[in-house]
Amino acid sequence: MILSAKKIALSYSPRSVLQDISFDFAQGNFFGLLGKNGSGKTTLLKAFAGINQPRAGEICLDNKSLYDLSPLLRARIVAMVTTTWPSNMLMTGRDILLLGRYPYLSGPHYGPHDDEIVSELAGSLNIQDFVEKPFFELSDGQKQKIMIARALAQKTNFLFLDEPFTYLDIKQKDWLFEFLRNYAQDKQVGILFSTHDRFIVDQLDHVFALDGKGGGAIITKEDVPAYLASF
């Protein structure tokens, strides 16, 4: 599958932030998304995830509008992790992971297959030590990993992450980066994530760089230093 932005324009509140953005994003791609604060990174991620609809142009999935799909079908194809979480959630980490299985729910209860997927992800992401704890008791870094695991539980073709490494220490940041890069390749999941972290940026082969003037383009790692110097 390929997700394509075709000359899209996006706004944040009344302000136009992106104009004439065209970008093909395929399964298995692992790209960073760079840009100044306020340049439209989160707005673009939400558009690809089917949350914000462009005010012009369209986002297509294999040449069919992403927004023509039902919300339930979209949730089987695209998932997103934002930078905000409910502040007083009484659910456990495991409960939240199970929410990722909702698009596949055929009855009133989750089944053994859903529990198996959740347990497997808890082990893969090294969150089994705190996945049974109430979400509100967890550290910000632990919450971040729970929310990423919830998105992975959706088993989508594309995953969009807004600043996924923000709350992690250096060791955890490096580990999660490698996990996501391998996951994209092994599972053929397209992963696009925003970041301001130079350590992460230096490890990327390609990034989609927003120019702060409403435009953007794919650049290679060789072009990143000049791009960052323009900030």
The model's pLDDT over 145-164, given as tens digits with 9 standing for 90+, comes to: 999 999 999 999 999 999 99
Write a three-state SS string for 48-102: HCCCCCCCEEEEEECCEEHHHCCHHHHCCCEEEECCCCCCCCCCEHHHHHHHCCH
pLDDT tens digits for range 175-194 = 999 999 999 999 999 999 99
Q: What is the pLDDT of residues 101-140, one digit of tens each?
A: 999 998 888 999 999 999 999 999 999 999 999 999 999 9
Residue with the larger pLDDT of the pair 80 and 229: 80
The phi, psi pair for 44, rounded to 5°, reads -70, -45
- How high is the pLDDT of residue 125? 97
Would you say residue 174 has pLDDT above 80? yes
pTM for this predicted structure: 0.94
